Structure formats: C-alpha cells, structure tokens
C-alpha cells in the first residue's frame, strides 16, 4: 500500500529485505522476531515513501503484460477493493501503518509494541481510523 506501481512494490520489498539483513546482528531479542520485522519493514517503507515523493514519476511504456507471471495472491492490491485501497492511500502515514497491521491480523499487543503505543490506545486509534474510512467510502 506504500507503492502505486507493482515494480515499486518489488523494489521496496528488496529494500526491506536488505535492511532486515543489515539490522539482524543488532537484534537484541527483547521483542518477538515478528514485531522486530514489522518495525524495520514499516520504517523502511515510510522512508521509501518520503524519498519517492521527491523523485520524478516514471510510467510504464505499456508493453503487452500477457507474458508476465501472475502476482502472488497475498498482495494487498489483490485482496481489497480499489475503493478501499484508494481510501487507505489517503490516510496519513501513521493511520495507514496502524490499519495495515490491523488488516494483517496482528494482535493489539503486537501493534502497540511496533508503533510504540499502549494497547488501549491501539484500540481507540483503530476505531477512529475505521470511522474515517467509513466516512471516506460513503457516497
């Protein structure tokens, strides 16, 4: 959800893997590995989003896409309706991060640890984001 083009998403994925590889020696095992992975991934995605806003936008040339493999079904752009994707993309960075962790079925305790919030605050913020999305999606 931090990338508009599939190729950008693939580049971001590679950057996340690189950052995880670099950061692994400093992992101190004070939190779960999945929490640590999400935190590194989220920070890399947000940093990549900031950088991408300053770069010129490149458009694909429009070659025949029939020769490419089907994208994996776990991609967010295939799981959710385009209207919901658009509404999520309009959220601020923090709300988007919170919602994506929620949509990824992370427990509130893990979301709280990743984002540096209290567990009760996670619930409150998720309800506020849901309300924002509902308002955005109503005709």
What residues contact residue 117 under an 8 Å CB cut-off, 6+ apart? 111, 125
Full-model pTM: 0.53
C-alpha–C-alpha distance, residues 45 and 94, integer Å: 12
Q: For 56-89, how does the pLDDT look when each residue is reduced to its tens digit (9 = 90+)?
A: 555 555 544 444 444 444 455 555 677 888 888 8
Beta strands in 2-116 (DSSP E): none
User: Diameter of the chain by CA atoms?
Assistant: 50
Domains belonging to the chain, first-starting first, are 6-67+76-137 (1.20.140)
Q: For 113-125, how does the pLDDT look when each residue is reduced to its tens digit (9 = 90+)?
A: 888 889 999 999 9
C-alpha–C-alpha distance, residues 47 and 60, integer Å: 23
3-state secondary structure (DSSP) of residue 59 = coil
């Amino acid at each position: 959800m931090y990338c508009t083009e599939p190729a950008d998403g693939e580049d971001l994925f590679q950057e996340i893997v690189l950052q995880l590889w670099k950061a692994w020696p400093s992992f101190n095992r004070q939190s779960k590995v999945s929490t640590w992975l999400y935190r590194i991934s989220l920070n890399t995605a947000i940093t990549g989003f900031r950088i991408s806003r300053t770069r010129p936008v490149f458009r694909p040339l429009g070659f025949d896409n029939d020769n490419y493999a089907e994208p994996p079904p776990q991609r967010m752009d295939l799981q959710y309706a385009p209207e919901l994707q658009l509404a999520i993309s309009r959220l601020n960075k923090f709300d988007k991060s919170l919602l994506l962790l929620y949509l990824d079925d992370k427990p509130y305790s893990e979301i709280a640890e990743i984002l540096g919030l209290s567990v009760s605050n996670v619930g409150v913020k998720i309800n506020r984001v849901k309300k924002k999305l509902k308002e955005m999606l109503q005709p």
